[in-house]
């Protein structure tokens, strides 16, 4: 392993160690599992199959997964900067890009563990327990299949990745832990509600509904919801589809992840200079 990969790998390992030593993340995963289990029990969809289970989980997931992702990411880049460790790290031959990539990768692994594992556990429970109400008639699974749940899980992780990355960007922008919490909450609310509110506003302002399949994919939540409708729940309906443009939705989720990473990197790389510039301007005005 040499050059950049070595840098990424080292930062990644260091970050993994940080994650593992944070017991709060374990509690987070357990909490998510409890919430999902509660939804499954209260909703009842999981009793008969994967598709109704996904129907029950879909809307709560839109809030829960971003929340967990933001919690995982909102301090990812802040702590090193605040403690001065980042300044130390930067004396080593590690570029900012490598540093950000390493941290983000580690946080994504944490996401897979904290979100993917509870969701997978729920899927396993459904797999083991879902059965028709009565056995006196011949039954079949319809189009219900564990594959559909696997698709759902993939979309969940894509959504989570976008939010982890955006939260990391927030953590790079924030100057203190308190402002990180504030900015993270803002990102959460903006992501979960903002995209749809903007879409609603544009429709109210006269945008053509034919643009919705494309525009709903722009916000991470809209893209996620569209993908689940299109590839998981919609499969149980006659083939019509068209809830969202699949390519755009996937590109949107991946795009948000990349945007978050780039913003984080740029902030870390040039933030000081911007700060310095701002300070200089302020001083000049003050004079």
Partner 1 sequence: MTRFDPFGDPSLPVRLALAALVLAAAAATAGAFVADPETAAPSPVAYDDVVELGLSSETDALMAGSATIPRTQVFYSQLQYVVGYNGVESFAAALEDDRAERQFGYPVVAYVETFDDARPGTTERGLFDAELAGEWTPAPEAVYVVGSDARSPAGETVVPFRERAAAEAFTADHGGRVIDWGAVRDRSFDTDSAAAVRGMAPDRWTAADQRIAAADRRADRPVSVVVGEDAPTIGAALAAAPANTTVAVPPGTYEETLTVNESVTIAGEDARIRGDGNGSVITVRAPDVAITGVAVDGSGNETRDPDAARSGRDPEGGAWDTNIQLGYGHGDAGIRAIDAPGLFVDDVTIEASASGILLRDGSDAAVRDLRVNGTEEWQDGFMGITGMQSRVTVTDSEFAGGRDGIYLHRADDSVVRNSEFADNRYGVHLMYTSDALIADNAFRDELFGGVTVMTRPSGNAIVGNDVRNSSAGIQASGTRAYIGYNTLVGNELGFSTSSRGSLYERNVAANNELGARATTVVPSSRVVENDFVANADHAAAGAGALRVWADGGRGNYWEGANVGIHDPGERAYRPTSPVDGALHREVALVAVRESPAVALLDRLRGTVPGARSGSIIDPAPATEPYASDRVAAALDPDAGPVHADWRARSGGGEGDRNATGSNAIGTNTNAPNATKRGAATSGVADV
Binding site for partner 1 (CB under 8 A): 13-14, 16-17, 20, 39, 42-45, 47-49, 51-52, 55-56, 58-60, 132-134, 137-145, 147-148, 150-151, 154, 231, 233, 235-239
Judged by CB, which is closer to partner 1: 48, or 267? Answer: 48
**Cβ 102 vs Cβ 12: under 8 Å:** yes
CB nearer to partner 1: pick between 75 and 151? 151
Question: Is residue 222 helix, strand or coil?
Answer: helix
CB of 174 to partner 1, least distance (A): 26
The two three-digit tokens of residue 92, written as one number: 């080593």
Tell me how far, at minimum, the Cβ of 42 lies from partner 1, in Å.
6
- Min separation Cβ 71 and partner 1, Å: 19
Cα–Cα distance for residue pair 68/63, rounded to 1 Å: 9
Give least dist CB 258 to partner 1, A. 20
Least separation in angstroms between CB 13 and partner 1? 4
The alpha carbon of residue 270 and the mean position of all alpha carbons in its chain are separated, in whole angstroms, by: 26
- Closer CB to partner 1, residue 49 or residue 170? 49
Compare residues 145 and 202 and give the one whose CB is closer to partner 1.
145
Nearer to partner 1, 158 or 199 (CB): 158
CA distances from 45 to 105, 145, 156, 212, 215 (A): 34, 14, 18, 29, 30
CA gap 67, 74 in Å, rounded: 10
Of 86 and 233, which has the nearer Cβ to partner 1? 233
Give the DSSP per-residue string, 149-198.
HHHHHHHHHHHHHHHHHHHHHHHHH-SSHHHHHHHHHHHHHIIIIIHHHH
Measure Cα distances from 59 to 65, 146, 220 in Å.
Answer: 10, 20, 14
Minimal distance, residue 46 CB to partner 1, in Å:
10
Task: Provide the residue count of the chain.
Answer: 287
Residue 47 vs 182, nearer CB to partner 1: 47
CB 106 within 8 A of CB 19: yes
Residue 186, number of CB atoms within 10 A of its CB: 13
Please tell me the distance from the alpha carbon of residue 187 to that of residue 93, in angstroms, as a whole number. 32
CB of 137 to partner 1, least distance (A): 5
């Amino acid at each position: 392993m040499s050059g950049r990969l070595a840098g990424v790998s080292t930062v990644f390992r260091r970050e993994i160690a940080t994650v593992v030593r944070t017991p709060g993340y374990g509690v987070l995963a357990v909490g998510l599992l409890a919430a999902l289990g509660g939804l499954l029990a209260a909703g009842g969809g999981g009793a008969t199959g994967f598709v109704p289970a996904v129907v029950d989980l879909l809307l709560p997931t839109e809030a829960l997964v971003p929340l967990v992702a933001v919690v995982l990411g909102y301090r990812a880049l802040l702590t090193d900067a605040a403690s001065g460790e980042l300044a130390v790290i930067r004396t080593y031959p590690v570029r900012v890009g490598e540093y950000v990539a390493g941290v983000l990768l580690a946080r994504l692994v944490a996401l897979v563990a904290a979100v993917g594992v509870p969701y997978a556990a729920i899927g396993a429970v459904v797999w083991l327990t879902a059965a028709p109400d009565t056995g006196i008639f011949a039954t079949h699974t319809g189009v219900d299949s564990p594959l559909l749940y696997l698709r759902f899980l993939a979309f969940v992780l894509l959504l989570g990745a976008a939010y982890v990355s955006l939260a990391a960007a927030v953590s790079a922008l924030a100057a203190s832990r308190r402002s990180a919490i504030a900015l993270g909450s803002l990102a959460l609310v903006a992501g979960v509600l903002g995209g749809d509110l903007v879409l609603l506003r544009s429709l109210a302002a006269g945008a053509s509904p034919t643009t919705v399949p494309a525009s709903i994919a722009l916000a991470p939540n809209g893209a996620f919801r569209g993908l689940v409708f299109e590839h998981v729940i919609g499969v149980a309906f006659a083939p019509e589809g068209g809830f969202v443009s699949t390519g755009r939705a996937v590109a949107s989720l991946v795009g948000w992840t990349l945007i978050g990473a780039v913003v984080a990197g740029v902030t870390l790389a040039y933030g000081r200079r911007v700060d310095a510039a701002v300070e200089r301007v302020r001083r000049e005005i003050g004079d």
